[in-house]
Amino acid sequence: MWSAPRPPEATAAEVEQRAQHLRAVSLFAEIAANQAALLEFASIMVERNFKPGVNMITEGEGSNEMFILVSGTASVFKTTPEGEPFRVAILKEGQHAFFGEGGLIYAERRSATITSDTECHCLVLSRSEFEKFGDKHPDWALPFYRRISASVLTRLRKANEDMMILYKALVSEIRGH
């Protein structure tokens, strides 16, 4: 088994800037007041830039990273049964958006494609770095795990609600209403 390389060392100012951004992201809400925890999280992340039109993650591919959108705009696409991309959401700078968080817990395939609409700057956390963090600081990792679980459950609930709306529309159409 191979091990992922450690993130490149960032300057203290870069780590502080990352921590400031993390403070506003809902996944970090329970530890937002803990500067040491935020700095530790920020130090294990890498920064990644994407030019417009680049798939940041691709539906169906394996996952082992979570992304936090720092700047730029990106579109979330699902593939239709006909194989066509269908935009389901737009992520924008200032929304403190994150995606791919399930990849930190389980190596599941990506459920959507996220494409950069503009130049995008992201903070990226790998599963291997997060697992090391959790082993070292379980008291800081637990609230983060809870937030990831809540996020996944919220998205599942929304998907179920959307499915019921579509079901009702289909039944109504079949019945001729």
Q: What is the pTM of this model?
A: 0.82
Q: Give me the tens of pLDDT residue by residue for the chain, a chain 177 residues long.
A: 333 444 567 788 999 999 999 999 998 988 889 999 999 999 999 999 999 999 999 999 988 999 999 999 999 999 988 999 999 999 999 999 999 988 888 777 898 999 999 999 999 999 999 999 999 999 988 888 888 888 777 777 887 787 787 777 777 878 876
> What is the residue type of 146?
R
**Rounded to an integer, what distance in angstroms lies between the CA atom of residue 17 and that of residue 9?**
14
Which of 3, 17, 41, 18 is closest to 141 using CA atoms? 41
Instruction: List beta partners, residue 69.
Output: 122
Q: Catalogue all structural domains in the chain, each as residue range(s) with its CATH number.
A: 12-167 (2.60.120.10)
Radius of gyration (C-alpha) of the chain in whole angstroms: 18
What token pair was written down for 139?
């008291």
